[in-house]
Structure 1
Amino acid sequence: MRTVAILLFNEIEVLDFAGPFEVFGVAGRHDDPKPFRVFTVAERGPVYARNGLSINPTYLLNDHPKADIIIVPGGGGNHADGTSYGSRREMDNPAVLNWVRRAGVTAELILSVCTGSFILGKAGLLDGLAATTHFLAVEGMKQAAPKTDLRLTERYVDNGKIITSAGISAGIDMSLYVVGRLLGKNVADETARYMQYDYWT
Structure 2
Amino acid sequence: MELFATTAWYIWCRRNKMRVSEPVVPMSSVAGEAYQYLATYQSGQPRPVRLAKRKNIKWKPPSTGMYKTNFDNAVFEESGEAGIGVIIRNSRGKVMASLAEKILKPSSVETVELLAARRAVILVQELGFKNSIFEGDSETVINSLRNGDRLKSFIGHLVQDTLSDVNSLRSWSFFHIGRQDNAVAHVLAKRARLSFILIFG
The TM-score, its normalising length taken from structure 2, stands at 0.28
* Structure with larger RCO (C-alpha < 8 A, sep 6+): 2
Larger Rg: 2
TM-score, structure 1 length as denominator?
0.28
